[in-house]
Structure 1
Amino acid sequence: MSVPDRVAVVGGGWAGCAAAVELARARCRVTLVESARALGGRARGVEVGGRMLDNGQHILLGAYEDTLRLLLEVGIDPDAALLRLPVQMRYPFPEEGGGMDFVAPSWPAPFHLLAALLRAKGLARADKMALARFNSAAKWMGWVLYTDCSVQELLDRFDQTPRLNRLLWHPLCIAALNTPPERASAKVFLAVLRDSLGARRRAASDMLLPRLDMGSLFPQAAARYVESRGGSVRLGVKAEALVRGEDGWQLTLNGRPEAFDAVVLATPASVSAALLAPHPKTAVLSEQLGGFGYEPIATCYLQYDPSLRLELPFYALLDDPAQGRWGQFAFDRGQLDAKQPGLLAVVVSAAGDAAGLGQEALAAAIAAQLAQDLRRPQLAAPQWSRVITEKRATFSCTPGLARPGNETGLPGVLLAGDYTASDYPATLETAVRSGIAAATAIASSDTLTREKRSLSHAGGPGTSTSVQ
């Protein structure tokens, strides 16, 4: 294979953008192509009625070290771009039995969680003892489960109370894995808890709420970073075929063949499967990529009078689809972005049933739920509403699910995506880590090392770590 100088990154989601940034930092000539008209994939900004919203409301964790590092790399200050809150699960009016109020103080770990447990409202002594028992047992296990099972089976094994399951474990499972606890992987769930609630650094458990739309938070800055280092970003370009060329790989982009030394496939698993299918070496991998199940996420935006402001930036909500209660978390966007006063965003994860409703019916049900839970009758009548549903938001994170690595078996062709092998579910951090791993595999090759030596001897450009 020739020197992997010309590298194509196919797919402009967070995994593809992370790969492109790392490759550009390693002085590769990067071509980032995205079939849509905007970068970000399943975590992007969308224009609705002349305003920029997200295709889904996200929460990041302080444990997302690679994501936070790349934000700094591309010139985004996490302290300014993200609202940092201590780990919490706060329902409206917990003192009346409808929920709980669990919020950690800014104490060193693990004392912050102990204090949160002791101070928690809405939990009986039996609930608190069950939570302490779970935490102790998980620590003793090293947060590792060698034989996977469902999250619900794990909770039953640790004798968790029905109320604790209802108010804490089930919402956390659905929010983190986007898979109902009856079908979700306990092994992956424990990994998320290990690096957040079980982390030795208190800051790792912090919840980070984006103040910027998801496109501005990272993908657009990543594009500027790549272009500032001689790369190119091309939108509305579809990769139609991948074939072995005389000198590397040939990608057919919008009907036009182009040559590259290496390729990162950061497209959805099904798209990567189609590109790899013609190659005999990747027949098994292609079948595996095409076999994932998926879960939707719906985000309902409701606009009220700009004077509306909730007491907290976000609340947990008690969902009950049988009773028409779909909302799981409600966010006051006005407390995150001063340009969005009076705008609430309500998230419905694992939204298979909710996705079957019409937009108007779902929005009306969520508005009624907010009015009841927050005891503000005016919330039942928003000025306007919009439901954005990502039908394939994440893969179904089920027990024992086999996920492929970055290597495809084709030299110089790597996979990147939140579905690749990881002990995390399909999160932004998983996508970023996968992109970094794919880029590192290319940038660490012997041929690229030789090229770097030649560039150095020729007085080539140095590596900058900031974007102007």
Structure 2
Amino acid sequence: MAAAVALADAGLRVTVLEAGKVLGGRARKVSLDGRELDNGQHLVIGGYRDLLAMMRRVGVDPDIAYLRTPLDLAVRPDFHLRCPDWPAPWHLAAALATVRGLALRERWALTRAVLAARWSGWRLKTDCAVSAWLQMQRQSVPLIERFWRPLTVAALNTPLELASTQVLFNVLRDSLGGSRDASDLLFPRVDFSALFPDAAAAHVVRHGGEIRLGSTVKQLTRRGDGWRINDDTTAFDGVVCALPPHRLGMALHRTLADELGVDVAALEAWDYQPIVTLYLEYHRASLPQPMVGLSGGLVQWVFDHAHTHDVPNRIAVVLSARGAHSELEREALERAVVLELDRAFGWGQPDWCRLIAEKRATFACAPGLTRPANATVAATLWLAGDFTAGDYPATLEGAVQSGQKAARGIIAALQTQDSRTT
């Protein structure tokens, strides 16, 4: 949708083919038992400049759509790191100096590790797993479990033992290492389709474009200077292929993929990581802030929708990446999560509970992973998605940046064709 908006703004007539019935992909609204929710609980940081700018571009005000708070990481039983509303870099210095729940030597170890990353320009000579880098930085087990593990899993959706330190540095560079507001946490107040995709679709239509829901692209073929989709006789001048990496082979059959220089087999062989979200409603349940973490169990982050959606007693629990919870059947997992929440907060049994699992929520953000470029051999066919080459892991910001890059490539290619024609 980011690509579609950019293309429409350039004066091109855009047709969006979406296989699903709802726009948004892996960040979309779902209807459950009469409730409008998201397919997973999401979080945005203030450093996601391109996403926020694109929202404004299509008429969505981020100041209304999100609840914005300074970085505030409370991980029970006793860890708490909070950035005050001070100018950078003093907000980070104050947060590190006042962090609670760590021994003095652990506080110094955390400060030393963050400063070492900052002084290196947030660059590693050789990428490695986050767990290996933490070992080199002499981070203690309690410090890792209370800070580094929940932070890394939330940012990269990849276990510490597999996650790329360089990509984690990229995220920290643009959040903790950026301006004061770059580290802010932005909690959505509305469903994710309303946050951007729906408004983007309306923007495209206003500019003469078309949105086709329930339209699965099963075959893409090149005919002369144009492209044809499935059996449609319409010839398109350019294509942005925004399928997820494991589905590219569905539209780009092997012969075409080879011609385009896209290694479909390699993408299909990637490791993917899940995200599980449980929505629960209680007779009485609340948190002192929108998000609280738990350490030492299955539950990672707990969200209170009273702060964001004005829905008291509704709780969302996020279990990111593959872990011990992945081995449990649905009912057993729900029971285990309810038990952990009761032990931590005393909420008892919920009145309602539903689990949503995205089995391929993101690619595993491993060190040295070779990600495909947006451009293909064909100047008028570009890839878009959070999996393409870029600084970020699989995030909304990475998806928007990729879509904009693909749009710029298509625009340049069509302008070149026009100049040759004239």
Judge same fold: TM > 0.5, yes or no.
yes
Q: CA deviation at 1:272?
A: 1.7
Matched residues in 1 for 2:349 and 2:43: separation? 27
Q: Secondary structure at the match of 2:135?
A: helix
Q: Is the 8 A contact 1:298 1:351 kept in 2?
A: no
Q: CA deviation at 1:364?
A: 1.8
Q: Secondary structure at the match of 1:422?
A: coil
Matched residues in 2 for 1:350 and 1:99: separation? 24
What amino acid is aligned across from residue 434 of structure 1 in structure 2? S
Taking a change above 3 Å as real, the CA distance of residues 115 and 56 of structure 1, as seen in their structure-2 partners, is same
Matched residues in 2 for 1:214 and 1:271: separation? 22
Structure 1 unaligned segments of length 5 or more: list them.
1-16, 93-97, 321-325, 455-468
Aligned residue pair count: 418
**Who is 2:405 aligned against?**
437
Q: CA deviation at 1:258?
A: 2.9
Report whether the alignment pairs 1:317 with 2:301. Answer: no
Report whether the alignment pairs 1:56 with 2:40. Answer: yes
Alignment TM-score, normalising by the size of structure 2: 0.95
Q: Secondary structure at the match of 2:122?
A: coil
**Who is 2:187 aligned against?**
209
From 291, 299, 307, the equivalent of 1:335 is: 307
Report whether the alignment pairs 1:344 with 2:315. Answer: yes
**Who is 1:250 aligned against?**
228
Q: Secondary structure at the match of 1:91?
A: strand
Report whether the alignment pairs 1:125 with 2:104. Answer: yes
What amino acid is aligned across from residue 286 of structure 2 in structure 1? R
Q: Is the 8 A contact 2:379 2:413 kept in 1?
A: no
Alignment TM-score, normalising by the size of structure 1: 0.86
**Who is 2:282 aligned against?**
304
Q: CA deviation at 1:450?
A: 4.9
Report whether the alignment pairs 1:230 with 2:230. Answer: no
Q: CA deviation at 1:315?
A: 0.2
**Who is 1:368 aligned against?**
339
Q: Is the 8 A contact 1:99 1:318 kept in 2?
A: no
Q: Secondary structure at the match of 2:276?
A: strand
**Who is 1:104 aligned against?**
83
Matched residues in 2 for 1:136 and 1:70: separation? 32
**Who is 1:267 aligned against?**
243
Q: CA RMSD in A?
A: 1.7
Taking a change above 3 Å as real, the CA distance of residues 286 and 410 of structure 1, as seen in their structure-2 partners, is farther
Matches within 5 A, 1:106-185: 106-185=85-164
Matched residues in 1 for 2:382 and 2:397: separation? 18
Q: Is the 8 A contact 1:241 1:275 kept in 2?
A: yes
From 407, 426, 450, the equivalent of 2:394 is: 426
Q: CA deviation at 1:293?
A: 1.2
Taking a change above 3 Å as real, the CA distance of residues 449 and 212 of structure 1, as seen in their structure-2 partners, is farther
Q: CA deviation at 1:134?
A: 0.8
Structure 2 unaligned segments of length 5 or more: list them.
none
What amino acid is aligned across from residue 260 of structure 1 in structure 2? F
Q: Is the 8 A contact 1:298 1:388 kept in 2?
A: yes
**Who is 2:264 aligned against?**
286
From 374, 385, 396, the equivalent of 2:353 is: 385
What amino acid is aligned across from residue 235 of structure 2 in structure 1? A
Q: Is the 8 A contact 1:364 1:380 kept in 2?
A: no
Matched residues in 2 for 1:319 and 1:234: separation? 46
Deviates more, 1:438-447 or 1:226-235: 438-447
Q: CA deviation at 1:270?
A: 2.0
**Who is 2:376 aligned against?**
408
**For each residue in 1:241-296, what CA deviation from the matched residue of structure 2 results, as whole angstroms up to 9, or x when unmatched?**
111113411111xx434310000000111222332222232365222322221000
From 11, 14, 17, the equivalent of 1:33 is: 17
